[in-house]
Amino acid sequence: AGRPGYVTLPIISVLAAIGYVYYTAVFLAIPAWLGLATAAGVANVAAYTTLALACVAAYGLVVTRDPGRVPPAFVPDVEDAETPLHEIKRKGGDLRYCQKCSHYKPPRAHHCRVCKRCILKMDHHCIWINNCVGHENYKIFLVFVLYAATASFYSLALMIGGALHSVPKDEQSGIDSPRKSLVICGVFVCVMTLALSILLVWHVYLILHNKTTIEYHEGVRAMWLAEKAGNLYHHPYDLGVYHNIVSVRTLSITSLLHIPQTLKHSSMFTMQ
């Protein structure tokens, strides 16, 4: 998969896919449908190019931005009234400590086997960016997915319009290279649109519940154990929809290391 910060084959594949779709949309679909000499054609080229550049810029940031490092001096203070919530190990009941990094794990932090270090508020490690998605780059990751999904829908509309309005180059021989290329690219874009839409909806769901992907899967098991014991499970970081959304936009490292007083649940809960 390559070490974090290095350009890998998946990253090259993503950039190549963006270039392929951009070329097909701008140089085949728009000319066939609207024409490059028309006002509508020029406007669509400008809008699509702007969206593509924003998508590439966001992708570059999510690839290169550090997902969040644990401060070397971090030590949980279980007696501090400002931090009423602490995570403990599922087995043993001790505070979470990373043997590989030789430090305590702050709330919501996890060790990534690929990055070989602990990541603050780790969501997952993504091979397509050769990086973890965590506290410091989650917002830009979400922006990239939003841009990419929007660009995919836009591309799909252009492919369909271009394929329907393209005229065969040679009516007698039936050769229709532009239309064939548009159909092939359209199928590819359709798959990407579906995948990106599912990813976007998934992360919107996580934001509304103030969860990470890791916490969602851990919560499924915690809910099962709670129901088995006759208890009711509640995600400890769920502050309500509005505050959950605001927390993604304003959460700082300080507030992440010192859980706010609004978390009015038990002072300890188990994590892996």
What's the Rg (C-alpha) of the chain? 24
In degrees, to the nearest 5, what angle opens at C-alpha 180 toward C-alphas 174 and 186?
Answer: 155
Q: Which amino acid is at 74?
A: F
Residues whose CB is less than 8 angstroms from the CB of residue 74 and which lie 6 or more positions away in sequence, other chains included: 103, 104, 106, 257
Choosing from 112, 126, 132, 190, the catalytic residue is 126
Which of 211, 160, 233 lies closest to 190 in space, CA to CA? Answer: 160
Alpha helix (H) ranges present in 115-266? 138-165, 177-208, 213-228, 241-250, 253-257
**52: Cβ contacts below 8 Å, ≥ 6 apart:** 18, 22, 151
CA distance 71 to 134: 15
| Structure-token match 């097909």, residue found | 24
Residue 122 near residue 55, CB atoms below 8 Å:
no
User: Which residues, at least 6 apart from 120, have a Cβ–Cβ distance to it below 8 Å?
Assistant: 67, 68, 69, 70, 106, 108, 109, 134, 135, 136, 253, 256
Instruction: Please indicate whether residue 126 is annotated as part of the active site.
Output: yes
Residues labelled as active-site residues? 126
